[in-house]
Amino acid sequence: MGFSKRIESMLDLPEGALSGELTVELCGTRRVILDGECDILLYADDTVCVRSKGQTLRVTGHRLTLESIGSGGMVLTGAIASVEFL
């Protein structure tokens, strides 16, 4: 087990939190919390695509809204239909 993984485990942090990996948290079908640096590739009311460390994530649904954004991640709200890594 690597050093960062041991620290994450000891501090009860999500896996990848210290390595900068994108962490995705779903709150029902109404909210997606993306924790980690990411760039917005596409933003529309039915599709949002972001890239983080070479991974692309697509969120689809209806009336998708960027509720908040910062250097550490973003929060999307709306009627979430799917979340997938491409």
Domains and CATH numbers, the chain: 22-85 (2.60.40.2000)
DSSP state of 29: T
Q: In what order do the strands lie in the sheet with 73-85?
A: 23-27, 31-35, 73-85, 55-70, 47-52, 39-43
Residue spans of the chain under pLDDT 50: none
The string of pLDDT tens digits covering residues 49-72 is 999 888 899 999 999 999 999 878
pTM of the model: 0.78
Q: Within 13 A of 2's CA, how many CA atoms are on the CB side? A: 7
